[in-house]
Amino acid sequence: MGLTWYLGVDVIAIVLATVLGAWWLLRHRAAGTRAQRLLEDRLRFETLLSGLFAQLVHVETGGLDAALEGALRQMVTFLGVDRGNLDEYVEGAPGIRVSWTAPGIEKLPSVLAVSEFVWTAETLRRGGIVRFSRAEELPEDAALDRRCYERLGTRSHLSIPLHAGGPMLGVLSFDSVSSQRDWPDDVTNRLLLLSEVFAAALERKRIELSLAERLRFQRLLSDLSARFSGALALDFDDEVHGALRSIVDFLGVDHATLLEFPRAGVPARSWTIGEATDAGHVPWLMLRLREGDVVHVSRLAELPDEAATDRRGCLALGVKSLAAMPLRAGGVVIGGLVFATGFAERGWPHELIEQLSLLGEVVANALAWTNAEREARRLRQELTHIGRVSAMGELTASLAHELNQPLTAILNNAQVAQEYLEADAPDLGELREILSDIVADDQRAADVIHRLRALLKKGALEYVPLNLNDVVDGVARLVRSDMVIRNVPMILDLTQDLPNVCGDRVQLQQVVLNMVLNGAEAMGEPNGRPHALVIRTSRAGAEAVGVAVEDSGTGIDAKDLDRLFEPLYTTKAEGLGMGLAIARTIVDAHGGRLRASNNAGGGATFQFTLPIAAERAR
């Protein structure tokens, strides 16, 4: 890592310089024992320093706190003091303290109020160090600090602010409790050197954590995008809940609510993780969201006076702090995202709010997109249905015929049966046979109705594994009479053992029906050429299957070939011009392709291919 390497070089240079200096001293000033002791002392410190440096640089981020604690322990032992503390500042949250306290000495309380150490905090903030052998040495305006030090049993103390070229990262401090001690300048200077090692470690931790944080955020964003882009299915609510859940986990909050404000014709909707926040509980917040404001409070006390109802509402819901993002789409506020904590107050640092805004954008886009897509899908389905109804309209005559056949047979049979019953000794065997014929014909009529209704129904899409041969067969049954009336011989050429596709049966039948009716219409009366409509199913390469409808009609004009699938484009006197456009939309939605071409020997072929359904692992 570049930064670590840089810091490493820096510190190694200092260590080298010091060691060289010590060597020089050793050579030239070894005469005095005091000097020698000093020298040894200094060498010990340098050794400790380079040892600590090595430990702190090479440890993984996860083990850094333990390494820091170990370093503090070594320092406390080396200095002969009682407490060593490393207080790390974290924006918007209580600091993190790593400390080492000598056995038998009272530990510092986990939280020290800044308000009790105003002078100390201010001095450190300005970059100065705080050191005293006795609390009395503290200046007059540090009276409060002094009392607090005394209360903690601190007799001598040294605090060094930690920087790494930026804002203060934390404070390194040492307390002497059992005895009083001095902080000579050379010791202080060495500790300043040491503080740089700690500062580097804290900086590294901060950078690595924020990097990890950013990665986590990236993952959250991509997770949300993936969820929403796949959320058009029926489980939209599940996906929204899943998305909210992952945001909640990311933020470490307790409640999250996604609100969609009511629009023309669409009621308000909301999804909640945790405690449901009723909009009525927080009227002020709702107003601010509607106006497009970001609202965040770390404590309920921060809510303004006009939000008294909201404060009561939050209290009732057990909310301790909250943040709310408006959701905008196309410049309009369409809803809001509200997050709340229920167990502890928490800060909403600027960076976090920025992340939340970004999340809000993703969610707003997704919401707007799904709404638009839902509406488009509804319209498409409506249109598809209309297309189906109009195609069926063309079949009215033949379907009447289809129904009339069994009805005729039933009526004939029933009237004969009545006559038989009037005889003195009715032939029961014959009557039984007649009745069973009536039942069979009734079933036949019901089948016609069933097929009709299946195609006319306005149901939700249902993607299921389908065999295209079955789809074609269903259509063939439906149009058989029509083909007889039109005097068009229909030939089925079905490839056996066709792999399944995944699709909606009704919609695919609609496509085939359209192709067949178009083909039959193009054929007109026989005129000497081969006269037949062929419906063919086949494999189309390794990954697709196809249906082709081949007519022996007049073929497609070159000028029509390009525009054939455009909506409202028709060459028929009575056509709406929607049939093929709808058919192509359906095939596209199934991941397939629909195309038309002229046959070499006259007539045209319409065909579509669909991908083979993936085998489900069971």
Partner 1 sequence: MMAGAARVFVVDDDASVRKSLGRVITSAGYTVELFASAREFLACPPPTGPCCLVLDVRMPGVTGLDLQKTLAGAVHRVPVVFVTGHGDISMSVTALKGGAVDFLTKPFDKKALLDAIARALAKDTRDLATEARIGNIQARAKLLTARESQVFALVVTGMLNKQIASELGVGEKTVKAHRARVMEKMRAGSVAELVRLADGVGIIVTAA
**Site for partner 1, rule CB under 8 A:** 397-398, 400-402, 404-413, 415-416, 419-420, 434, 437, 440-441, 444, 481, 484-485, 487, 489
> Which residue, 16 or 397, is less far from partner 1 as judged by CB?
397
Comparing CB distances to partner 1, the nearer of 237 and 427 is 427
Minimal distance, residue 424 CB to partner 1, in Å: 15
Shortest gap between Cβ of 437 and partner 1 (angstroms)? 6
- Please say whether the beta carbons of 224 and 247 come within 8 A: yes
CB nearer to partner 1: pick between 386 and 407: 407
Provide the 3-class DSSP secondary structure of residue 219. Answer: helix
Shortest spacing between CB 388 and partner 1, in angstroms: 22
User: Minimum Å distance from CB 585 to partner 1?
Assistant: 33
Lookup result for tokens 């011009």: 577
Minimum CB distance to partner 1 smaller for 423 or for 614: 423
Give me the least distance between CB of 423 and partner 1, in Å please.
Answer: 10
Q: What DSSP element (H or E) covers 459?
A: none
| Phi then psi dihedrals of residue 598, to 5 deg | -90, 145
DSSP category for residue 565? T
- Looking at beta carbons only, is 239 or 402 nearer to partner 1? 402
DSSP letters spanning 357-422: HHHHHHHHHHHHHHHHHHHHHHHHHHHHHHHHHHHHHHTHHHHHHHHHHHHHHHHHHHHHHHHHHT
229 vs 404 by CB, closer to partner 1: 404
Minimum Å gap between C-beta 430 and partner 1 is 9
Is residue 541 packed enough to be buried (19+ CB in 10 Å), middle (13-18) or exposed (0-12)?
exposed
CB of 488 to partner 1, least distance (A): 10
Least distance (Å) from partner 1 to the CB of residue 239?
A: 51
Which residue's CB is nearer to partner 1, number 497 or number 525? 525
Distance CA 279, CA 260 (A): 11
- As measured in angstroms, the least distance from the Cβ of 413 to partner 1 is 5
Whole-number Å distance between alpha carbons of 582 and 505 = 15
CB contact burial 432-465 (16+ within 10 A = b; e otherwise): eebeebbeebeebbeebeebbeebeeeeebeeee
Contact status, residue 367 vs residue 260, Cβ threshold 8 Å:
yes
Q: Which of 265, 262, 302 is nearest to 284 (CA)?
A: 302
The two tokens of residue 427 are 């032939």
Eight-state DSSP code of residue 541: S
Closest listed residue to residue 165, CA positions, set 358, 383, 3? 3
Pick between residue 421 and residue 617 the one whose CB is nearest to partner 1: 421
CB of 426 to partner 1, least distance (A): 12
Nearer to partner 1 (CB atom), residue 238 or residue 419? 419
Rg (CA), the chain: 42
Determine the straight-line distance between the first and last CA of the chain, rounded to whole angstroms.
48
Closest CB to partner 1 among 483 and 540?
483
- CA distances 361 to 81, 226, 333, Å, are 54, 15, 11
- Taking the least distance from each CB to partner 1, the nearer of 351 and 437 is 437
Shortest distance (Å) from residue 387 CB to partner 1? 24
Kindly state the tokens that stand for 304: 């303004």
Going by DSSP bridges, is the β-strand pair 490-493/533-539 parallel, antiparallel, or unpaired?
A: parallel
- Identify residue 333 by its one-letter amino acid code: V
Q: Which is nearer to partner 1, 12 or 416 (CB)?
A: 416
Q: What amino acid occupies position 303?
A: L
Distance CA 529, CA 553 (A): 9
Q: How far apart are CA 158 and CA 120, in angstroms?
A: 10
For the chain, the maximum distance between any two Cα atoms, rounded to a whole number of angstroms, is 151
User: Please, what is the minimum distance in Å from the beta carbon of residue 479 to partner 1?
Assistant: 13
Could you tell me which residues are beta bridge partners of residue 611? 544
Residue positions counted in the chain: 618
CB of 548 to partner 1, least distance (A): 23
Nearer to partner 1, 70 or 489 (CB): 489
CB 362 within 8 A of CB 285: no
Dihedral sign from CA coordinates of 439, 444, 448, 451? positive
